[in-house]
Structure 1
Amino acid sequence: MNTLPSVALAAGLALLGVVASARAAGEGPPSLAFPLACKIGVSCEVQNYVDRDPGPGASDYRCSSETYDKHNGVDIRVLDMAAQRRGVAVLAAAPGRVARLHDGRPDISIRDPAAPPLNGQDCGNGVVIDHGGGWETQYCHMARGSLSVTVGQTVAAGTPLGHVGLSGNTEYPHMHITVRHAGVVVDPFAPNAGAANACHAEAPLWSPAALAQLTYKPGAVLNVGFAAQPATMADVEAGQVAAPDGAAPVLVAYARAINLKSGDVIAMQLSAPGGAVLGRSQLAPLDHSKAQWLAYIVARRPTAGWAVGRYTARYQVLREGTAVLSRDFTTMIGG
């Protein structure tokens, strides 16, 4: 959740040829580097894209649903609050000058009853960089006290601006980046409004290296692990799930995935050292799309206790009968 005070997105995408016009005027758009010190698929994932649907619906540049109504940027989330506390740098996506910044908002989920009113500061702590020619990028939800640039400072692509946080209108630690030209929101994956129904990236603003990181995925596995009792979403988000030991009464394997679709089926299997299957589960098809979803499988300790060795879990998301997501993970007990 990260609505930013800006020109309405639908109006912005309705302006045909915004990038082509800028190039004709000699004011070409910046080439955007990847804006976080993380690696997609390892330490971060894309949660949301720009909403290209001008109406009340929501559609990303691939004509899919990894966005929400009027979302005007790209959300890249880190895996959990433990990663956020270690510090993940937000990086300038292109050379420019720091035009504006804001700091001082607390790092707290908007769902927390103690969260203060937003008072229009949905972006939370953030930075705006002017790239010239009417182009700017805005970086939101940064950690309070982490901003490392000043207004008027010249930055290069890759210059650290601060750290990923949990400030403003958000429920999870991530960085939201919005691209604008002349105050109009631009989708960096398909910047020309004429590409609204192309259902693929078209003349993207991202550099080739950034685009290689940002390959579109049919969802993603965010966290996996083992616990001595069923983990909650809050436990996983906090990064505070205790690992099991030989005294654990149950062995729980859990996995959290993002951007699942209506009808997806989650299947899990838990195996003992040597391959004996301790349990299998297959959930009912999801009744609607899920921004994030936590699943787990539980095995009770045998009468003789847990065998010493490596336990293996497999997590899969089946979409129309095909596994679109799969992750194997292990833990060691004893030894």
Structure 2
Amino acid sequence: MRKYIFLLLLGLISVLGCELSTQANPTLQLGLPIDCTLGNDCFVLLYTDRDPGPEAVDFGCGRMTYDGHKGTDFAIPDEQVMAEGVKVKAAAAGTVLRTRNNIRDRRIQDQTQTDAVEGMECGNGVVIEHDENWQTQYCHLRKGSVLVQPGDKVKEGTPLGLVGTSGKASFPHVHLSVRYQDRVVDPFVGPEAPSGCQGSKSPLWKTALPYQSTGLIRAGFATQLPELEQLWDGEFKDQVLPVDSPALVFWVHTYGMLKGDQERLQLRDPQGKIVAQFNRTVSESQKVWTRSLGKKGTKQPLIPGQWSGRYQLIRDQKTIIDHEADVLLQ
């Protein structure tokens, strides 16, 4: 009898050990929550905040987050791309718990607009429940685009809706939040990682996602100095401009600029002559940045033909961005 009880206890401990092991090593794996190619037509603009205090740090020990940010923001270049329709996809199989689909799309630009979406910061969204007490949430979807209903079973990659700017969004993107046992998890480090950015990492992504804290969003030409909000609107995409324009401006829209970075811009005429250039040191770190230079066509008319611009960003003597673009004046 004693032997039987001993063996029974061993079996119970073994079962409990398996359950504890399963909980300590959860198995959720994630695909991309957006239908795009990272680094090509979309990018991660903000990561989960890993600082437990009032400061903010992302998992790569960078500053592409803000205090209390509880997810990963997969962004697209502008609202013209958004209007064309970029799918938001389920990152893993599960059951839809909640949806919302009636919040207007509007980029937040001031505190009054922020106050207006209090309690609805996620905007239009979807919450999915997965096995082993996991949940994923998808925010800022385009009004009227949500395709699923509570109770629906979804697979990884199932379309949920379209990228939008509903709720507390200042640029077009889908915000992905991951939770395990009601606790926010950074998918780039996993549920067991300690606070901060120096601990061990067990990412949840099925395919490794590179950490890119700095990059180019868009670049192009205009006949005036562009404002940042105009770039998010999707303006200045013309590849052919009138030769009698009042000016020709080469511009870039970037993210993740750090104090001390070196910027170099050049504008060349159709004969290959440099007509405008500058080298500058970034004086203050910026999450989103626009820089431009140009030539006026008033005193000396612009010449017809293909003009080109080049932008370089150098950090610690290493080139981070090197981009060239062309425009035809006729």
TM-score by length of 2: 0.87
**SS across alignment from 2:116:** coil
Paired residue total: 310
**Which segment is superposed worse, 240-249 or 155-164?**
240-249
Q: 2:264 maps to which residue?
A: 267
**Structure 2 residue 297 is matched with structure 1 residue 301:** yes
Q: Partner letter of residue 129 of structure 2? A: D
Q: 1:53 maps to which residue?
A: 51
**Structure 2 residue 233 is matched with structure 1 residue 238:** yes
**Structure 2 residue 314 is matched with structure 1 residue 318:** yes
Q: Partner letter of residue 147 of structure 1? A: V
**SS across alignment from 1:283:** strand
Q: Partner letter of residue 294 of structure 2? A: V
Larger radius of gyration between Structure 1 and Structure 2:
2
Structure-2 change in CA distance of 1:21 and 1:73 (3 Å)? farther
Q: Distance in 2 between matches of 1:21 and 1:328?
A: 55
Q: 2:7 maps to which residue?
A: none
Task: Give CA-to-partner distance per residue, 1:218-258, whole Å, 9 cap, x none.
Answer: 40110100011111112111112263321112110000101
Q: 1:84 maps to which residue?
A: 82
The percent identity for this pair of structures is: 32
Q: 2:22 maps to which residue?
A: 24
Q: Is the 8 A contact 1:108 1:115 kept in 2?
A: no
Give structure 1 stretches of 5+ with no counterpart. Answer: 1-19
**SS across alignment from 1:82:** helix
Q: Distance in 2 between matches of 1:222 and 1:37?
A: 17
Q: Is the 8 A contact 2:95 2:153 kept in 1?
A: yes
Picking from 248, 252, 270, the partner of 1:251 is: 248
Q: Is the 8 A contact 2:105 2:165 kept in 1?
A: yes
Deviation at 1:161, TM superposition (A): 0.2
Q: 1:5 maps to which residue?
A: none
Structure with larger RCO (C-alpha < 8 A, sep 6+): 1
Q: CA RMSD in A?
A: 2.2
Give structure 2 stretches of 5+ with no counterpart. Answer: 1-17
**Which segment is superposed worse, 146-155 or 28-37?**
28-37
Q: Distance in 2 between matches of 1:22 and 1:327?
A: 51
Q: 2:157 maps to which residue?
A: 158
Q: 1:119 maps to which residue?
A: 118
**SS across alignment from 2:253:** strand
Deviation at 1:123, TM superposition (A): 0.6
Task: Give CA-to-partner distance per residue, 1:133-176, whole Å, 9 cap, x none.
Answer: 10010000111100001110000100000001111111111100
Q: Is the 8 A contact 2:247 2:298 kept in 1?
A: no
**SS across alignment from 1:83:** helix
**SS across alignment from 1:84:** helix
Q: Is the 8 A contact 1:27 1:133 kept in 2?
A: no
Matches for 1:137-286 after TM superposition, within 5 Å: 137-197=136-196, 199=198, 202-208=201-207, 211=208, 214-241=209-236, 243=238, 244-286=241-283
**SS across alignment from 1:166:** coil
Deviation at 1:23, TM superposition (A): 5.0
Q: Distance in 2 between matches of 1:229 and 1:296?
A: 10
